[in-house]
Amino acid sequence: MLSPLTISARDLALLGAGGGDSATMGTLLAGQFSRRVLLVIAVLDSARRKAPGAVRGLEASYALLSDVQRTHPHLVEEIMTLPCAGNWAAACLRGEAAEDAHQYLACLAASAAARAGREFRIEVPVLNGAVCLPTLGSWAVDGADATAAVSGGGDDGLVITPAAGTPARLPDVGVPAPGWRPARLLRARMDGCELRVWLDDSGPFRAPPGPRLKPALAAREAARWQRMLDGAWRSLVRRHRAQADAMSIGLRALTPLQGREGPGGDSATATDAIGGVLLTPPGHAENLALTLIHELQHTKLAAVEHIVALHNGDQLKRYPVRWRNDRRPLGAVLHGAYAHLGVAAYWDSALRLGNVYPREVARRELAYWRDAVEDALELITESGDLTAAGGQFIAGMATTLGHFRAITAISAH
């Protein structure tokens, strides 16, 4: 199931400059798949030492995934690079998941097998009162059952049978049925560029521990997210095409957080769940476009750091940055600088293309974020903790900042 974890000098240069074409994003995605497989193997090894009761189910799940992967490799890659798969593996390895939650791998395997049209039967856990099958949907369990059997490939379509209860037959998983809630896939298309992203508003591993998640959305709320995404995608494709092309490959799921709408909302990317963005409901399509650019930068950098070390910074040493009141370790400074390089690129496009914001607003924002990132790069460079790859990455960022400085100088006349 594994492919080598490598990144070329070409890809590193493109990413350092803040970009990354479809081939580059494909490399990062392949790296994430290899990492997820290694994490699953680590979960298996840990279970053999600490939770032998969980081993049989994990091995059955891994075997089913491996079987599907032989005929549908891209499908298994899609399932295993979902943000929920990364959050699950991290929770297991950190001791944050209960023993029954280790069997969530069976939910991922069942989803892959069902979508491949494979005949199968596997036992899955009931978590938080439901059987959750990523990219398919969730089925509410009426009772105290801890497990259910999921089977597919027959005339009845997908069948979910609780340990003590009546089977639920789902001939079409995309259609709501009593107890069954289909997964929500948001789609946006503009000038031949399409974004397909899951609206992950339910499920036990849609976020790491800590964030305050919104409960499952009503249909009208989901429709509003779709409208916001439609507007954001029009802006991204028309005004930020390179970022949109990368996003169409690298963005996998949006997870709604509790919080107020509008430009002061919150967003985050979990490094164990690359491809997912946690965010409060967007108040405006343009706010969403900027948020997605910002978080895409975090996604790309985290994926790079899973393949190659960019620095050897001391985690105890802290540095000041413009965008926070507290001092940050070197790795966080780099992440913030790279994310705000994307923010600066957003305002660069706004200044050059016009029509969305007054030119003076765009010029002021571009200058502010350009200077903030330049200050951070100076701290990073002077730390002496960059690796050779990190030096190349930073050089690309500096080149892009030079372009922004030239743009602001020209626009001032």
Angular region, 301: left φ>0, alpha ψ -120 to 50, beta rest: alpha
What is the distance between the alpha carbons of residues 297 and 12, in angstroms, rounded to a whole number? 13
Chain centroid, CA 406 distance in Å: 33
- Averaged pLDDT, 52-71: 95
What is the reported pLDDT for 262?
A: 60
Residues with Cβ within 8 Å of 101's Cβ and at least 6 positions away in sequence, in order, are 88, 91, 92, 125, 127, 204
Do the bridges between strand 168-170 and strand 157-162 make them parallel or antiparallel, or are there none, so unpaired? antiparallel
CA of 13: how far to CAs of 18, 276, 401, in Å? 9, 24, 14
Structure tokens that stand for 226 in this block: 């779709």
pLDDT, tens digit (0-9, with 9 covering 90-100), for 380-408? 999 999 999 999 999 999 999 999 998 77
In this structure, how many other beta carbons lie within 10 angstroms of the beta carbon of residue 163? 14
Q: How does DSSP assign 9-41, residue by residue? A: HHHHHHHHTT---HHHHHHHHHHHHHHHHHHHH
What mean pLDDT is reported for the chain? 93
Closest CA to 73 of 106, 39, 107, 29: 29
- Averaged pLDDT, 186-206: 96
CA of 222: how far to CAs of 180, 200, 229, in Å? 17, 10, 11
pLDDT, tens digit (0-9, with 9 covering 90-100), for 369-379? 999 999 999 99
What is the reported pLDDT for 137?
A: 97
Do the bridges between strand 120-125 and strand 130-133 make them parallel or antiparallel, or are there none, so unpaired? unpaired
Residue linked to tokens 């279970």: 47
What is the distance between the alpha carbons of residues 36 and 14, in angstroms, rounded to a whole number? 24
What is the reported pLDDT for 148?
A: 95
pLDDT, tens digit (0-9, with 9 covering 90-100), for 250-302? 999 999 999 876 666 899 999 999 999 999 999 899 999 999 999 999 999 99
What is the reported pLDDT for 100?
A: 84
- Averaged pLDDT, 160-183: 92
Closest CA to 99 of 53, 138, 61: 53
Structure tokens that stand for 160 in this block: 């979910």
- Averaged pLDDT, 316-323: 93
Structure tokens that stand for 227 in this block: 């409208």
In this structure, how many other beta carbons lie within 10 angstroms of the beta carbon of residue 152? 24
Q: How does DSSP assign 179-216, residue by residue? A: TEEEPPEEEEEETTEEEEEEE--SSTTSS-SS--BPPP
Model confidence at 126: pLDDT above 70: yes
What is the reported pLDDT for 313?
A: 81
What is the reported pLDDT for 411?
A: 64
Comparison of pLDDT for 54 and 68, the residue scoring more: 68
Identify the three-state secondary structure at position 4.
coil
- Predicted structure pTM score: 0.94
Structure tokens that stand for 36 in this block: 């997820």
